[in-house]
Amino acid sequence: MDVQKKKIAIIGAGPMGLACAYHLVNQNYVVDVYEADDRLGGMSASFDFDGLTIERYYHFICKTDTSLFELLDELNLSDKLRWHNTKMGFYYQGKLYPWGSPMHLLTFPKLNFISKLRYALHVFYTKSVSNWDKLDQQSATTWIRKWIGDKAYYLLWDYLFEMKFYEYKHNISAAWIGTRIKRIALSRKNLLTETLGYLENGSDTLLNALQQAIEAKQGNIYLQRPIEEVVMKNDQVQGIKVNGELLHYDTVMSTVPLPYVPRIMPKLPQTVLDKIQAIQNCGVVCVILKLSQPLTVNFWLNINDENILIPGLIEYTNLSPLVDHILYAPFYMPHTHAHYKNSNEYFLEATLDYCQRVNPEFSQDWVKASRVSRYDYAQPICSSDFYNQLPAIKTPIEGLLIADTSYYYPEDRSISESVQLGKSLAKLLE
């Protein structure tokens, strides 16, 4: 068969699936992308928020997101990238403190000088790490406690782990948290100023350009077409089942969150299924409010307060200037958590209460609109020794490749890492 005419099906039209399709059509493959949702983007998808098109989940860009910058450049979108000096806050036991610079650390009244010095040294050390192998073997909570001591760990970190990972909080790999610390620490204009980026008109700017580039090269993107099954026979992929119909492909590439894989690929070898099923994942329920005025001056507000059951509040307008003030409240939790099944109203009420606590002047009259979105598999739990837990991207089934956001471990989820992995997936077929 002429290799240039190979037919490829990509499952998922998030940044990874689209980036993969974009590179494959440029290599002259015949590419069809299948997306279950009614829109592009997966976790980075947008919605119409009473006339404002905005992401369902907040997105910021860091100065280290080089794969994203390369893709934006190829798509002639570099001029859509904007940078903003952002402020961070820390809400600790009922009080809001400025955070995020050496001055703020020095003037923070709740830690002694030694704890502050240890905290700063930990960040400096982490910024310098480039080989994460040793940290892959360690637990994040033990590693941080060793560096900064118990007092600073419980004050600054424990609540963040608890409110995101709950029963898995001690299972997180030190390498995973290390890359997160490094990514943020390097996104600065200088020692005093954090600088974060965003795309004009949000992630849709990238997603729509990818769609255009794919379609310009005769690639197809099918929305609202959930793949029911990846069909395989004699250790070879046959194609995919959509609406009960078998469609033949030479290669199938899955970019859907890993927990969906056993459902659509029940015939994968048991050893692969076992590995996939052993990897846990947290869901997110994310409240978004459109406010008539800002709640605080911060883009990111870290929280450690027993009355507020989330690790932070994100005021997007303090990054990307918009007419309305947009605030996100993410409730991450494993599906086993009792609250996960609570109604949207429950999460909305909780968010309004948190706003009131953070800024006592907040009034419900400020809320012009609200919305609650859920993503069932939003955050893989990358535990210690994670490198050894992932099954190979090239499965034992010929022509079947699987990847998702956990595959760029130790890096955390990001659009930049997803587009980079999408490109690497395409290269595997070269």
Residues within the interface to ligand FAD (CB under 6 A): 11-17, 34-37, 42-44, 57-60, 226-227, 255-257, 260, 264, 284, 286, 330, 375, 378, 404-405, 413-416, 418
The residue (of 36 and 273) whose beta carbon lies closer to ligand FAD is 36
Q: Closest distance between ligand FAD and the C-beta of residue 108, in Å?
A: 25
Whole-number minimum distance, CB 288 to ligand FAD, in Å? 10
- The full DSSP string for 127-145 is HH----HHHHTSBHHHHHH
**CA 276/CA 11 separation, integer angstroms:** 17
Run of H or E residues at 235 = none
Smallest gap from residue 97 Cβ to ligand FAD (A): 23
Backbone dihedral region of 235: left (phi > 0), alpha (psi from -120 to 50 degrees) or beta? left
Question: Do residues 237 and 251 touch, judged by C-beta distance below 8 A?
Answer: yes
CB 407 to ligand FAD: min, Å: 9
Cβ closest to ligand FAD, residue 152 vs residue 219 = 219
302 backbone dihedrals φ, ψ, rounded to 5°: -75, 145
Of the two residues 64 and 115, which places its CB atom closer to ligand FAD in the complex? 64
**Minimum separation from the CB atom of position 257 to ligand FAD (A):** 5
CB of 285 or CB of 397, closer to ligand FAD: 285
The H or E element spanning position 227 is none
Bridge partners of residue 99, in order along the sequence: 88
DSSP one-letter code for 322? -
- Give the nearer residue to ligand FAD in terms of CB position, either 42 or 391: 42
CA angle (323, 326, 331) in 5-degree steps: 170
- Residue 387 tokens, joined: 């490198």
In whole angstroms, the minimum distance from the beta carbon of 186 to ligand FAD comes to 14
Question: Closer to ligand FAD at the Cβ: 71 or 284?
Answer: 284
Write down the least CB distance from residue 151 to ligand FAD, Å: 30
Q: Which is nearer to ligand FAD, 105 or 329 (CB)?
A: 329
Q: What are phi and psi of 60, to 5 degrees?
A: -125, 160
Q: Do residues 301 and 315 lie in contact, with contact meaning Cβ atoms separated by under 8 Å?
A: yes
SS3 397: coil
